Amino acid sequence: MYDRDEIKSLASFSNILRLLKKDPEFSRYCTQHRVPKGNVLTIAEDKQFCYLVESGYLQYSYVGEFATGYFFFIKPGRFASLPFLKDQLPAMAKLLAVTDVVWWKIDFEFLRKMLLLEDPKNFVILNHALEAAFNFYMMTKKYLSTSEERIYFCLVRLVDVGINIRENQVELPLFLTYDRLAYLSNASKGYTANILTKLREDNILDASKKPWIITDVARLKAKLNIMDMPNF
């Protein structure tokens, strides 16, 4: 069995760049790019490259007739796209930069070669697989949820990419607004506002000013029965 902290450490952003830079042709196959807020990239159109986020936040949304509302956020240090198999065709999805982003555009074949050489135990792929499994679990929870629970679900997803300011309290990303939360939750703005008012009255949310703060993460997660799920 693997140790979770060991996997996270060996699959960290700094360690991934370190192993890629061992090849003298690193700069030929790996380029750094600024991505302005609002930029959209369709994943299925670009199978040659993988994207590793250095700073900023992305919203990964699946596209298709039955994909509405299936999304997750990608925070710094994570891959925005990374196939598990050499010939795997990615599902149609869109990457939306919800803030200004800096990412590394990495040639897939170069990345594959370097991971085979420098990461023979597949820590990087394993870490990405664990994150993907958790994201699918959470999207399934959302699909089976009521409108109220979908709002809680979206807040929990935002907690995952927020800043832990103290025990059991998280500062939510600045890109969060009433409109964005309502859209992601598949709920009306009025209903979303009513649920947020209830959370404020229950001392779970402080939305008096930006950034919003979840003041009791445990109680928020308890509403979805995901208290014991690992935070990937």
Q: Where are the domains of the chain?
A: 4-142, 146-222
Regions of the chain short of the pLDDT cut 50:
227-229, 231-232
Give residue 151's pLDDT.
93
Place of tokens 């009025």: 190
- Residues 50, 106: contact at Cβ < 8 Å? yes
- Residues 226, 144: contact at Cβ < 8 Å? no
Place of tokens 């959370």: 199
Give residue 227's pLDDT.
47
Give residue 67's pLDDT.
59
Contacts of 32 (CB under 8 A, 6+ apart): 54, 102, 103, 104, 105
- Residues 114, 20: contact at Cβ < 8 Å? yes
Class of 146-222 in CATH: mainly alpha
Tell me how many degrees the CA angle 107-108-111 measures, rounded to the nearest 5: 85
Q: How many CB atoms lie within 10 A of CB 159?
A: 20
The alpha carbon of 33 is separated from its chain's Cα centroid by a whole number of angstroms, namely 19
Interatomic CA distance for residues 170 and 166, integer angstroms = 7
- Residues 53, 81: contact at Cβ < 8 Å? no
pLDDT tens string 138-190: 777 777 778 899 999 899 989 988 999 999 999 999 989 999 999 888 889 99
Q: What are residue 81's DSSP bridge partners? A: 51
Give residue 45's pLDDT.
59
- Residues 125, 114: contact at Cβ < 8 Å? no
Helix or strand run (H / E) with residue 219: helix 217-222
> 4-142 belongs to which homologous superfamily?
Jelly Rolls (2.60.120.10)
Give residue 13's pLDDT.
96
